[in-house]
């Protein structure tokens, strides 16, 4: 990354989440503003790549509808893929500020256009709900890892006839809670899974080494998905599903730094932090510090 300019692209989509309460839209689309307002771009020496404006959020949904906002997510994913592909073609390091986890679809689509890419999936949840392990699908942000590996709503899993966008063998899931309901399925499929407890036990350097071995073994490069809910809820309560027993920032920051420094890393997306749940801005400060320390050139 030292020889590539960081370009920051906003992907302020909340299309992949259910409403937090009746009549209320999820606030994670404000994530880019919170970080930009703290001076993220000058702190990183990054260039501004603009924003991909999402379609209107629709809250209406009932069982049997498939994924909420699926058609809008599909359109948005293609538009996002186009913008990210342009950044990668320009040899930039892409830093995408979400938004919810459904933006992963667009990024992995962009990478699939280029070849075979791996994925370091840093998330407190497996996001692996699909119709073979659940009675219904509904919110893409809880299904994004399933979608990008070819499981889920047919309107999302095969855009441009390129699905699946990532192979299971090229995924390393990091920080998933040991109690995650789909954890056993990830392991049965051959994915490398390093739980939040194992991250703390092994330490960031060893975890990074194991992840890099997985995602670079047979690929042209890899992408980093960073969901803020991977962090322990004591430090990051401003997410839609905060949970204890997560990864502390003291481990996440050096882990992210080691991964992003790898020459095969195409970029990173940041998702799920919700400024509406952070009235004091404390969580934004912590996330800002993590990104600057991990991605900065200092």
| 82 in a structural domain | yes
| 1 in a structural domain | no
DSSP-assigned letter for residue 16: T
* pLDDT, position 58: 85
Measured over all CA atoms, what is the biggest interatomic distance in the chain, rounded to whole angstroms?
A: 51
Which of 188, 190, 182 lies closest to 166 in space, CA to CA? 190
Q: Percent of the chain scored above 90 by pLDDT?
A: 90
The CATH number assigned to the domain holding 214 equals: 3.40.800.10
pTM here is: 0.97
Answer positive or negative: Cα dihedral of 133, 134, 136, 138: negative
Q: How many residues does the chain have?
A: 298
More confident residue, 166 or 63: 166
Q: What does the pLDDT look like over 12-25, one tens digit per residue?
A: 999 999 888 888 88
Instruction: Write out the residue range of the structural domain in which residue 218 sits.
Output: 6-295
Other C-beta atoms within 10 Å of 76: how many? 24
- Separation between Cα atoms, residue 10 and residue 98, nearest integer Å: 6
Q: What does the pLDDT look like over 37-73, one tens digit per residue?
A: 999 999 999 999 999 999 998 888 777 778 889 999 9
Domain count, the chain: 1
């Amino acid at each position: 990354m030292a020889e590539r300019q960081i370009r920051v692209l906003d992907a302020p989509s909340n299309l992949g989440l259910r409403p937090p309460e009746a009549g209320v839209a999820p606030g994670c689309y404000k994530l880019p503003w919170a970080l930009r307002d703290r001076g993220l771009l000058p702190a990183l020496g990054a260039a501004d790549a603009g924003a991909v404006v999402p379609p209107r959020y629709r809250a209406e949904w009932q069982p049997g509808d498939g994924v909420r906002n699926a058609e809008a997510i599909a359109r948005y994913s293609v538009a996002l893929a186009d913008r990210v592909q342009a950044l990668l073609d320009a040899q930039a390091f892409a830093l995408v500020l979400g938004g919810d986890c459904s933006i992963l679809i667009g990024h992995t689509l962009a990478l699939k256009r280029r070849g075979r890419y791996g994925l370091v999936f840093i998330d407190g949840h497996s996001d692996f709900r699909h119709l073979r392990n659940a009675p219904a699908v509904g919110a893409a942000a809880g299904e994004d890892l399933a979608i990008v590996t070819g499981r889920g709503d047919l309107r999302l899993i095969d855009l441009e006839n390129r699905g699946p966008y990532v192979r299971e063998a090229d995924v390393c899931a990091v920080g998933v809670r040991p109690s995650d309901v789909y954890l056993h399925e990830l392991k049965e499929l051959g994915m490398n899974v390093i739980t939040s407890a194992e991250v703390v036990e092994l330490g960031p350097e060893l975890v990074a080494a194991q992840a890099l071995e997985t995602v670079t073994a047979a690929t042209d490069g890899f992408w980093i998905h960073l969901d803020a809910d991977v962090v322990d809820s004591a430090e990051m309560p401003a997410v839609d599903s905060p949970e204890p027993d997560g990864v502390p920032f003291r481990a996440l920051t050096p882990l992210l730094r080691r991964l992003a420094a790898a020459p095969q890393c195409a970029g990173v997306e940041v998702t799920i932090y919700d400024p509406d749940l952070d009235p004091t801005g404390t969580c934004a400060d912590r996330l800002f510090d993590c990104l600057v320390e991990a991605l900065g050139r200092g």
